[in-house]
A = this chain, B = another copy of it.
Amino acid sequence: MITLTVQTHAQSELRDITQQVQEAVRQGGVDDGLCTLFIPHTTAGVTLNENWDSDVQRDILLTLADIAPVDPRHRHREGNSPAHIKASMVGASALVFVKGGQLQLGRWQGIYLAEFDGPRSRNVWVKVVAG
């Protein structure tokens, strides 16, 4: 298992970690198999989406803020329930196939750490299973 460290810079941010994950795959030494990612946090997640137009990332965050807004009915004292809700919607893990040591992604796909309660330093755990 390799741990990546990712510094986020906003409360909500989709941060492209594709190159860091590719480097972890190279270090892991498994040429063909399944790259699995795990986020050991409860107010961040991981998602794949378009890496070309950064307005896509902006629009996703905008709509997620509408979907899980600050709500006076929330009781969690830290006040970050929207971040917890978004984390469960986006998910704490992802998988990407690996072939010849390379992440296999669609033409427009990037891997994003989804920060919902930043800015913070986050960890991303990476493991490649042969197969």
Contact = CB atoms under 8 A, between A and B. Distances in A.
Interface of A: 1, 33-34, 36, 38-42, 47-50, 53, 55-56, 58-60, 62-64, 67-68, 71, 73-78, 81-82, 84-85, 87-97, 99, 104-109, 114, 123, 125, 127-131
| A interface: dominant SS | mixed
Contacts of A42: 48-50, 56, 106, 108-109
A63 B71 contact: yes
Contact of A49 (B50, B73, B87, B125): B87
Given A59-B84, A71-B62, A75-B59, A92 B48 contact: yes
Given A53-B78, A55-B81, A63-B82, 4 more contacts: A49-B84, A59-B71, A62-B71, A129-B129
